[in-house]
Amino acid sequence: VGTLGEADLKGKKVFVRADLNVPLDDAQKITDDTRIRASVPTIKFLLEKGAKVVLASHLGRPKGVTPKYSLKPLVPRLSELLGVDVVMANDCIGEEVEKLAAALPEGGVLLLENVRFYKEEEKNDPEFAKKLASVADLYVNDAFGTAHRAHASTEGVTKFLKPAVAGFLMQKELDYLVGAVANPKKPFAAIVGGSKVSTKIGVIESLLAKVDILILGGGMIYTFYKAQGYAVGKSLVEEDKLELATSLIEKAKAKGVSLLLPTDIVVADKFAPNAESKIVPATAIPDDWMGLDIGPDAIKTFNAALDTTQTIIWNGPMGVFEFEKFAAGTDAIAKKLAELTTSKGVTTIIGGGDSVAAVEKAGLADKMSHISTGGGASLELLEGKPLPGVLALDDA
Ligand code: 3PG
């Protein structure tokens, strides 16, 4: 979008697809406005250049028109952040939308209702895309979090609106998750956690081709331990992924990647916030106990390895950080990354939902080089998959 100047934008109606899929509580109050704030720079830029913004997003996964998935509760916060009175439409296509769009002044914003109220959105129906596009002159996609979906508002509309360009948020996400990962300052480390190996296979395999150090944590490590013949007690294990775990260990060796698994574990007698807990060596988890976090020795080893790096990408927590008792490992990683970013200029990239939540919970969000606003989208990018919402843009 930065390549568009006043000549392209003044008086033009710009269809902006943002990812305003924010969490709402039962009273329809926004509980985390990160995605709204992340969308502001692009919209403000367009408004300052004299454009008229028609803003579209999905919220949740509604089946048809569902009031609790309306975008209406977002209007006050959006208006406040943009410094303009955002006009809300009752629909995302149709006569009312056409009238409101036509009446928009330069510097005005019209927020369309949830595009997923129509099944045609997810079907990427061309007729629906054409209707969405009909109220605007050009297209800006800033919805990185939805770029892995080939939907009407992320992909289909680009057939009808030119130019079709990336917004600032989209650009920044790609700069870090593609640019910094493809051409990292070395040494480059990846920290991959989360509960299941099965959901992270693609990411691990893809990162193994790029990193110098791969640190593993979270629930997935017990499958790796079991594959190596260690006792894992009642820890989470994916029995059908044992061979895969072994093959990933071998692949790391073959590629000369230093693969680090935690050396000690915080085990619990049950999966509960108030469970009994103790620290044991990773090779000897007692029967009837389950691993819920990495131990202090593992944190020390991981920190020492991270101290040698210039670029770090982190996806997935080290333990059950939702339980305070088992959050120490995840918190320690968050602190280490913040420290390395601020004091040593290390590039730190946080991709994926849970690690982002952990960094935010630790109050360290503004200390990282980049925190992705996309869960599924960043995972697919890190797996090396192309994103349809990006491919559809002019300069893809
Ligand atoms: C997300 O929250 O990851 C994005 O908004 C995409 O939502 P979806 O998984 O429902 O397509």
**DSSP string for residues in 114-128:** -GGGSHHHHHT-HHH
Separation between Cα atoms, residue 129 and residue 205, nearest integer Å: 36
Q: Which of 149, 169, 199, 387 to mutate to test the pocket of ligand 1 (most atoms within 8 A of CB)?
A: 149
Q: Which residues are catalytic?
A: 35, 196, 353, 376
Residue 58, annotated as binding a ligand: yes
Report residues whose beta carbon is within 6 angstroms of any ligand 1 atom.
19, 21, 61, 145-146, 149, 375-376
Residue 233 CA neighbour count, 13 Å, CB half: 23
Residue 77, annotated as binding a ligand: no
Q: What is the ipTM of this complex?
A: 0.98
**Which residue from 137, 86, 141 is spatially nearest to 109, judged by alpha carbons?**
86
CA 184–ligand 1 middle distance (angstroms): 28
Beta strands in 179-276 (DSSP E): 188-192, 213-216, 258-260, 264-268
For tokens 């129906």, what's the residue?
Answer: 125
**pLDDT tens track, the chain, 396 positions:** 878 888 899 999 999 999 999 999 999 999 999 999 999 999 999 999 999 999 999 999 999 999 999 999 999 999 999 999 999 999 999 999 999 999 999 999 999 999 999 999 999 999 999 999 999 999 999 999 999 999 999 999 999 999 999 999 999 999 999 998 899 999 999 999 999 999 999 999 999 999 999 999 999 999 999 999 999 999 999 999 999 999 999 999 999 999 999 999 999 999 999 999 999 999 999 999 999 999 999 999 999 999 999 999 999 999 999 999 999 999 999 999 999 999 999 999 998 778 888 998 889 999 999 999 999 999 999 999 999 999 999 987
Domains and CATH numbers, the chain: 6-166 (3.40.50.1260), 173-382 (3.40.50.1260)
Give the angle subtended at the CA of 236 by the CAs of 233 and 238, to the nearest 5°: 115
Q: pTM of the full predicted structure? A: 0.92
